[in-house]
Amino acid sequence: MIKSVRFQSPIGFLSILAVKQGVVKISFENESMKKRDKWCRKHLGMGIVEGTDFTTEAKNMILNYLSGKRKSLNFPIVHLNTLFRKRVLEAERNIPYGQTRSYREVAKMVERPKAFRAVGSANANNPLPLYYPCHRIINANGTLGGFGWGVDVKQYLLDLEAKSF
């Protein structure tokens, strides 16, 4: 059973999808319930049931992170992704709070120095933003690059980390 909770945060409405073993997806307000349900059916073979049984801890950690009271998230997760994308996101989790890296630097971190576009794809398909801090990945020239939740949210997160650092 996949439990879902939707809540207001400093960056907008977020949704957490979780199973008993851990959180499987964190979504921003720009992703519809229909799209979240379709994702769950594709990756887990079941739909979403409203409820907070498996989401309370994650929700509290996320709200504390977004208010600058926490520097990392460590709730249980179930990471549904390809091996390469998992490697990329795990490497990004090692980027210190308040710092950034380029897509090219992350490609080098996973020992695939020419795969910087694939790093971008891994970030675009990150089911657990904030837990895997893909907002810390920027273009080599220092510009922000894309972010699934919008560049304004990416800038907010980077500013939050810079002032809490």
Summarised one tens digit per residue, pLDDT across range 75-110 is 999 999 999 999 999 999 999 999 999 999 999 999
pLDDT-based confidence at residue 162 (cuts at 50, 70, 90): very high
Q: Tell me if the pTM is above 0.75.
A: yes
Rounded to an integer, what distance in angstroms lies between the CA atom of residue 139 and that of residue 123? 13
pLDDT-based confidence at residue 1 (cuts at 50, 70, 90): confident
E strand map for the chain: 2-9, 12-19, 22-28, 48-50, 101-102, 137-138
Return the amino acid letter for 107.
A
Q: How does pLDDT run across 111-135, given as a tens digit for each residue?
A: 999 999 999 999 999 999 999 999 9
Tell me how far CA of residue 88 lies from CA of 44, 95, 99, 155, in angstroms.
22, 11, 16, 21
Catalytic residue numbers?
Answer: 134
Q: What is the mean pLDDT of residues 17-36?
A: 91
Tell me how far CA of residue 157 lies from CA of 78, 102, 133, 150, in angstroms.
24, 16, 9, 11
Tell me how far CA of residue 87 lies from CA of 18, 24, 27, 110, 118, in angstroms.
22, 17, 21, 7, 11
Residue 165 pLDDT: 62
**Domain covering 83-164, topology:** Arc Repressor Mutant, subunit A (1.10.10)
Q: Does the 2-66 domain belong in CATH 3.30.160?
A: yes
Return the amino acid letter for 164.
S
Question: What residues pair up with 67 in beta bridges, in sequence order?
Answer: none
Is residue 20 predicted with pLDDT exceeding 80?
yes
Question: What residues pair up with 15 in beta bridges, in sequence order?
Answer: 6, 27
Proportion of the chain above pLDDT 90, given as a percent: 80
User: Per-domain residue ranges for the chain?
Assistant: 2-66, 83-164
Q: What is the mean pLDDT of residues 54-83?
A: 94
Residue 23 pLDDT: 95
